[in-house]
Structure 1
Amino acid sequence: MSDMITFKYLRDIQKKERSSSGLCKLDDNFYGAVQEYVLRKKRIKDRGKDLSFREKKEIENIGPVVKSIYDTRETKIVNGAVKAARTGMKMENILLSEKRLFEDVRKKLVDGREVLESVLCPGNGGVAEVKGDEDVPDGFSKIRIVEDIPEFVGEDLKMYGPWKAEEIVLCPVSFSLMFVKAGKAEKVGED
């Protein structure tokens, strides 16, 4: 693929990325091929060979063009992660090297939404994560989850969980005692 990379090709990709709402289809090794292209151009420049004005300008502008491509894709990936957190939609044409950014941002947003849901619907899953020495409401206790606990229906017919290991949550006392006894949670602080 690195032989296919030219300044014109990069400018075309830049224009396509800017004009389309979604990610443009790129080869999985796009950034690796661009790196090889940049190194090849740098070696030509370092040899001190006489270059035309156009060649000098292309070499000068490779960095800004590639950065522009990356920045545009990054913005689309972050926006796509927001949509995925809200709707569960999948991101198309994302490169393997970009997938981690997408998943990290999406996960943080989903975690934030879970906290928001627990604040807006208390007793519908408890507080996903409790920080500091917050007051524990009557009938609830604060526990640290030791093993993942799937979502379940409480005796009050409300949904609770799911909770992941290491989360500190507020849970009705009857459930917290049961989880502690079963070794799935530990008490935090005093009731």
Structure 2
Amino acid sequence: MDDFFRELRRIQKKERSESGLARVGDDFYKKTYDYMRKLMSTLSRDPLNTRGHHLLMDVQRITMEICERREHKITDIALMNVQRSYNLFNKKPKLDLEDASPINLTPEEKKLYSSIITLLIDHRSKIFPILQKADTKKIEEKIKESADNGIETIIVYDEVPSTIVGVDEKVYGPFKPQDVVRLPSITAKIFVNSGKGRFIKH
């Protein structure tokens, strides 16, 4: 067992036991790639070298586990940082995402982390595109305004055993069948459109 293989085993154990990323050095992936190429070159000259084949398989297995564990950690940290700092509705980051990046990233992993952050922020900015065109406060004001502008009278068909809050934020109900009630226009339309009442014209 050579020094590099022992180093791989050490990193594997650290990735298993620690929640953060183990320190591997900026050239970890290049060193691992070069090491495997060297093993494959040796096997090409001696294809019956059973020990060499087992060593290569072990190196590939350990390297795969290290890569996958690091990818999971990087993805989890990126997701957590975006959820903490990028509010879904006001889209104003509260902290510097770069400052919150995990330590011990290799250059390749820094690109991965940055790509995930960018993808998540882009995704969040497109989930509710209507919010980019209209302020939620203005929407609420319009609802209140429409509620103030009209009151409708309806006859109730079905029993409504609990109270309801109208768009004017007033409490109405409970109602019994055949009750004649006056409600804000929007609330009244909900009753009528759902088949629970009808308008009464004066």
**1:95 paired residue among 106, 109, 130:** 106
3-state SS of paired residue (1:28): coil
AA in 2 matched with 1:21: S
TM-score (norm 1): 0.54
Q: Give the equivalent residue in structure 1 for 2:124.
A: 113
Structural mapping, 1:1-191, within 5 Å:
6-48=4-46, 51=49, 53=51, 55-87=52-84, 88=97, 89-116=100-127, 122-123=134-135
**Identical aligned residues as a percent:** 27
Q: Give the equivalent residue in structure 2 for 1:145.
A: none
AA in 2 matched with 1:58: L
* Distance across 2 between alignment mates of 1:107 and 1:61: 35
What is the total number of aligned residue pairs between the two structures?
123
AA in 1 matched with 2:113: F
* Distance across 1 between alignment mates of 2:41 and 2:101: 40
How far the C-alpha of 1:56 sits from its partner, in A, is 3.7
Computed over aligned residues only, the root mean square deviation of the Cα atoms, in angstroms, reads 3.1
* Distance across 1 between alignment mates of 2:104 and 2:38: 27
TM-score (norm 2): 0.52
Q: Give the equivalent residue in structure 2 for 1:147.
A: none
* Distance across 2 between alignment mates of 1:93 and 1:71: 16
AA in 1 matched with 2:14: K
* Distance across 2 between alignment mates of 1:67 and 1:111: 30
How far the C-alpha of 1:105 sits from its partner, in A, is 1.0
Q: Which has the larger radius of gyration?
A: 2
**Which deviations, in whole Å up to 9, do the C-alpha atoms of 1:99-140 show, x marking residues without a partner?**
11111111121223334576679416xxxxxxxxxxxxxxxx
**Which deviations, in whole Å up to 9, do the C-alpha atoms of 1:65-115 show, x marking residues without a partner?**
111111111111111110221234222111111111111111121223334
Structure 2 spans left out of the alignment, 5+ residues:
85-96, 137-202
Query: For the Cα contact (< 8 Å) 1:78–1:105, is it kept in 2?
Result: yes
Structure 1 spans left out of the alignment, 5+ residues:
125-191
**Which deviations, in whole Å up to 9, do the C-alpha atoms of 1:124-167 show, x marking residues without a partner?**
6xxxxxxxxxxxxxxxxxxxxxxxxxxxxxxxxxxxxxxxxxxx
Query: For the Cα contact (< 8 Å) 1:13–1:69, is it kept in 2?
Result: yes
3-state SS of paired residue (2:25): coil
Decide which structure has greater helix share.
2
How far the C-alpha of 1:21 sits from its partner, in A, is 0.7
How far the C-alpha of 1:48 sits from its partner, in A, is 1.2
Q: Give the equivalent residue in structure 2 for 1:176.
A: none
* Distance across 1 between alignment mates of 2:3 and 2:80: 32
